[in-house]
Amino acid sequence: MAQAAGPLVGLRVIELARVLAGPWAGQTLADLGADVTKVEAPRGDDTRQWGPPFVTRGEDVSAAYFHSTNRGKASVTIDFREDAGKARLFDLLADADILIENFKVGGLAKYGLDYASLKDRFPRLIYCSITGFGQTGPYALRAGYDFIVQGISGLMSVTGDPEGQPQKSGVAITDLFTGVYATTAILAAVHERSRTGKGQQIDMSLLDVAVAMTSNQGMNYLTSGKVPGRMGNAHVNLTPYQVFDCADGHIIIATGNDRQYQRLCHLLGLDDMAEVPEFLRNSDRIRNRAEMTRLLTEATLLRTRADLLAACEASGVPAGPINDMAEVMADPQVQARGLQIDTDGVPGIRTPIRFSDTELRFDKPAPKLGEDDP
């Protein structure tokens, strides 16, 4: 079935989730050794069709998107609108520890599969519900989509060039973060159950997660009353901490303190800038950001990317390239960490979780539709 190694061996998970947030939580648990069974409608998870590109294995053709978030799981097809399908699902739940679902609020109640209907029959079951806006509140019945939530939450209001449109993240970041937070909540509930013997419902909301993700930007507003705006690649609380133009492209320079700023000035041949009062402290540099950035950029434009990156590395100034996906996978650090994996001929990206004593296995790709049906 699922992984044969990992700290969560013995935990059984039933995943009634589609698309990304719920499956991401399920995949993380599978990577850690849990036995995860993905319950799909006979037509399959929608993301099986979200291509090209597609992965072809015999008669099964599923989108790369689906493979990115369903590694290590079993797949069974069940139509729980029918009595026989519902009975089969109950059989799966009989010895399950966790159920993950991302139906609309109330969507499973008509089938008797909501938490209120199941908690007495399966009192140890940890029931994780993932929705756009949570189980309560005026938006509870709305469908939730990552893109829309990035807008409602304020994330897009602080992302993008100030002269252009607000921008979403290049990946569905609120879905992914919700999957990670859901995994954390599930494991906390497992620990709680070890003391109480009881399961419980977990209420995960994409909007809740996205608002929490505003982190320092949200705190800046709550503290000052000033609404932050878009700053492109600049940092609201630190400078210089941004993308700089070079003679042949761009690099990121991210100074985190005054000493690093001074070292940057020296390596660029701007010794006077290192000590002048208007740029001496981070707060000074923020007040005079535009002029400081202009002067630094005049110097970075005289250097190539490779030359400037090497100089920053030698001088202890945090800097890095802006890689495309091909460059990422060819990066020596990425390769040394084994982040690109092969699961029975299907490429993938390894979980970032590592343990000193427990070895994880990644030998089972995303399942073919219904491959574990009886």
Query: Could you give the residue numbers annotated as active site?
Result: 175
On the CB side of 369, how many CA atoms lie within 13 Å of its CA? 20
Tokens of 3: 């992984």
DSSP-assigned letters across all residues of 57-113: ETTEEEEHHHHTS-TT-EEEE--TTSHHHHHHHHHHHTT-SEEEE-PPTTTTGGGT-
**Residue for token digits 């252009």?**
164
| Rg for the chain, CA atoms, rounded | 25
Euclidean distance between CA atoms 300 and 255, whole angstroms: 15
> Using H for helix, E for strand and C for coil, what is the string for 135-170?
CCCCCCCCCCCHHHHHHHCCCHHHCCCCCCCCCCCC
In 3D space, the residue among 243, 356, 267, 348 whose CA is nearest the CA of residue 315 turns out to be 267
Question: Do you find a cis peptide bond into 53, omega within 30 degrees of 0?
Answer: yes
What DSSP string runs through 183-233?
HHHHHHHHHHHHHHS---EEEEEHHHHHHHHTHHHHHHHHHH-PPP---TT
Question: How far, in Å, are 82, 129, 134, 182, 195 from residue 202 at the CA level?
Answer: 27, 6, 10, 8, 17
Contacts by 282-291, CB closer than 8 A, 24 or more apart = 282/238, 282/239, 282/257, 282/258, 285/239, 285/240, 285/261, 286/237, 286/239, 289/234, 289/239
Query: Are 79 and 85 a contacting pair, CB within 8 Å?
Result: yes
The burial of 95, by beta-carbon neighbours within 10 Å (0-12 exposed, 13-18 middle, 19 or more buried), is given as exposed
Tokens of 135: 């189980």
